[in-house]
């Protein structure tokens, strides 16, 4: 652990921005705790630059003084990647004031936004230009585009539109030596050398800091049809997914799996929530069809669900009859993390497996976890169509939260072994951060880890960017 930042260095950093862009201890406090309280850090200074040039000046000084830099967006990350360590040596660089939408070009289907723009604000900017920016996730009101890029965020739109990596045409970034790389490409095709933006996307702040990006836009949906479907099992859910995909093709833009316990927790903790179907069912799927064309999707969905009911694939379904009902359906899904959080400690697994393995994975992991921790309640939900399951486990009712969370790593081992047996990933969309850095050596070859380290050392030779994230030991 390094020494806390000296007062002299603090004042040199402070001199680089206006006083209102420095946070005092009270303002800083919430930025130094990870949302679930898993990580508590300290910082020499929390600073909020207003321009790329200010970021560059700050990073140049960090390079000169050997100060670790922890970039932070909306502080919604779930793996501790935005939290400094406890030494107080680091500078937390908040992007919250890099919040301009620089340009929306509806004709070319792109927009240029700064890193600190919230995902919701980016979606709004697209919507105002009659376009869609399709990334969508539970924390979209506070997470930022920069954080979405740093973590290659996923969410509910990946099935049809891809993850953040697929939605970025170009980036502007400040490199660890303080130079600005202006890579704000607007072209769909450009094969002039290495596609360096992909290094920064998903690098979790370890190779520099993205300050702005060119994002792809899509035609706004003209028709949306949404249904909440009750069914017996993940097997039935997978059968439904395949059936709808075969019929609706690219119009299938959402397919989320929710277990009954997810509905129970919603009814218990979310004010005004109603059971979406008349009776309770073991599992649910939230299905969305949407299209920029007018093709009668509601009828399509009704026909498909009718056939699925006739053939016994599903037990019941409700098609949203209004915007309000559509929103109520999505609120259940988007509130899953939050409502679960109110139920005490939750040990999380953000995993993906090949699609056909999803039912077996859920069954085996549930059995193993219930054996490992009797009384614990599995809440397995997520992006069925991507094979990405948030296999979260709530503490037994009445158990001690701290003691339960102390079993985090041990339970992870149980679940991740089953993920590995199915050829899956232990970090499907939330990234590695501090939480999973110790697990990488178990899932990646030595060659790949070495290649990652080679890249890290080449671009950040002093190891100043987000030390302790992604890599177990700070290079070099």
383 makes contact with a copy of itself (CB under 8 A): yes
CA distance 427 to 262: 22
Pick the stretch among 36-44, 90-98, 115-123, 417-425 that binds a copy of itself (CB under 8 A): 417-425
**Which CB, 44 or 134, lies closer to a copy of itself?**
134
Q: Report H helices in 389-445.
A: 401-405, 408-421, 440-443
Listed ranges 6-14, 117-125, 266-274, 445-453: which one lies at the site for a copy of itself (CB under 8 A): 445-453
Sole window of 3-11, 278-286, 315-323, 425-433 interacting with a copy of itself (rule: CB under 8 A): 425-433
Closest CA to 107 of 240, 273, 219: 219
Q: 206 to 225, contacts with a copy of itself by CB under 8 A?
A: 219
Q: How far is the CB of 82 from a copy of itself (least distance, A)?
A: 15
Q: Burial, 323: exposed, middle or buried (Cβ in 10 Å; 0-12, 13-18, 19+)?
A: exposed
**Cβ distance to a copy of itself smaller for residue 77 or 276:** 77
Give the count of alpha carbons within 13 A of 213, CB side only: 29
* Residue 386 binds a copy of itself, judged by CB under 8 A: yes
By CB under 8 A, tell whether 248 contacts a copy of itself.
Answer: yes
Quick check: 420 binds a copy of itself (CB under 8 A)? no
Packing angle of the helix pair 323-334, 260-269 (nearest 10 deg): 100
Member of 168, 239, 285, 459 binding a copy of itself (CB under 8 A): 459
Residues 6+ apart with CB under 8 A from 366: 378, 380
For a copy of itself, the binding residue among 6, 250, 303, 441 (CB under 8 A) is 250
175 to 194, contacts with a copy of itself by CB under 8 A? 175, 179-183, 186-194
Near a copy of itself by CB under 8 A: residue from 21, 455, 462, 475 = 455
Single out the residue of 4, 138, 292, 475 in contact with a copy of itself (rule: CB under 8 A).
Answer: 292
Closest CA to 68 of 473, 463, 475, 471: 463
Structure tokens at 468: 């302790």
- For residues 5 and 56, which CB has a smaller minimum distance to a copy of itself in the complex? 56
Could you tell me the CA-to-CA distances from 359 to 96, 366, 376, 384 in Å, in that order? 41, 11, 20, 10
Identify the residue among 53, 438, 454, 476 touching a copy of itself (CB under 8 A).
454
**Rounded distance between C-alpha atoms, residue 163 and residue 203, angstroms:** 14
> Cα–chain-centroid distance for residue 295?
32
3-state secondary structure of 288: strand
Q: For residues 113 and 169, which CB has a smaller minimum distance to a copy of itself in the complex?
A: 169
Q: Enumerate residues 301-360 that contact a copy of itself by CB under 8 A.
A: 352-356
**Nearest Cα to Cα of residue 34 among 189, 122, 139:** 139
Is residue 102 within the footprint of a copy of itself (CB under 8 A)?
no
> 6 to 65, contacts with a copy of itself by CB under 8 A?
none
């Amino acid at each position: 652990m390094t020494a806390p930042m000296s007062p002299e260095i603090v004042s040199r950093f402070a001199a680089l921005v206006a006083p209102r862009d420095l946070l005092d201890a009270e303002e800083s406090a919430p930025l130094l705790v990870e949302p679930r309280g898993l990580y508590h850090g300290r910082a020499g200074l929390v600073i909020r630059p207003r321009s790329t040039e200010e970021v560059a000046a700050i990073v140049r000084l960090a390079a000169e003084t050997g100060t670790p830099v922890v970039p932070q967006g909306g502080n919604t990350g779930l793996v501790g990647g935005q939290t400094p360590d406890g030494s107080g040596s680091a500078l937390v660089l908040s992007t919250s004031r890099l919040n301009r939408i620089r340009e929306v070009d509806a004709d070319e289907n792109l927009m240029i936004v700064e890193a600190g723009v919230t995902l919701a604000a980016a979606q709004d900017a697209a919507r105002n230009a009659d376009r869609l920016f399709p990334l969508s996730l539970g924390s979209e009101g506070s997470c930022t585009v920069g954080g979405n890029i740093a973590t290659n965020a996923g969410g509910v739109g990946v099935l049809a539109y891809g993850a953040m990596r697929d939605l970025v045409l170009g980036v502007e970034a400040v490199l660890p030596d303080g130079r600005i790389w202006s890579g704000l490409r607007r072209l769909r095709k450009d094969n002039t050398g290495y596609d360096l933006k992909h290094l920064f996307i998903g690098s979790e702040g370890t190779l520099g800091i993205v300050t702005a990006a060119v994002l792809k836009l899509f035609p706004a949906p003209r028709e949306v049809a949404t249904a909440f479907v009750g069914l017996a099992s993940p097997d039935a859910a997978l059968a439904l997914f395949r059936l709808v995909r075969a019929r609706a093709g690219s119009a299938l833009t959402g397919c989320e799996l929710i277990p009954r316990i997810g509905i129970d927790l919603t009814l218990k903790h979310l004010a005004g929530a109603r059971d979406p179907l008349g009776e309770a069912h073991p599992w649910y799927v939230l299905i969305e069809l949407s299209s920029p064309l007018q093709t009668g999707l509601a009828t399509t969905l009704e026909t498909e669900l009718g056939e699925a009911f006739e053939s016994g694939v599903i037990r019941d379904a409700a098609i949203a009859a209004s915007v309000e009902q559509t929103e109520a359906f999505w609120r259940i899904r988007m509130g899953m993390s939050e409502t679960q959080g109110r139920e005490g400690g939750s040990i999380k697994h953000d995993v993906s497996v090949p699609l056909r393995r999803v039912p077996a994975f859920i069954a085996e992991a549930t059995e193993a976890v219930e054996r490992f921790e009797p009384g614990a309640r599995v809440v397995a939900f997520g992006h069925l169509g991507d094979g990405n399951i948030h296999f979260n486990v709530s503490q037994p009712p009445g158990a001690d939260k701290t003691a339960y969370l102390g079993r985090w790593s041990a339970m992870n081992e149980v679940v991740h072994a089953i993920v590995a047996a199915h050829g899956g990933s232990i970090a499907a969309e939330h990234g590695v951060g501090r939480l999973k850095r110790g697990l990488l050596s178990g899932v990646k070859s030595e060659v790949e880890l070495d290649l990652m380290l080679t890249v890290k050392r080449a671009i950040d030779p002093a190891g100043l960017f987000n030390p302790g994230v992604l890599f177990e030991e700070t290079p070099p």
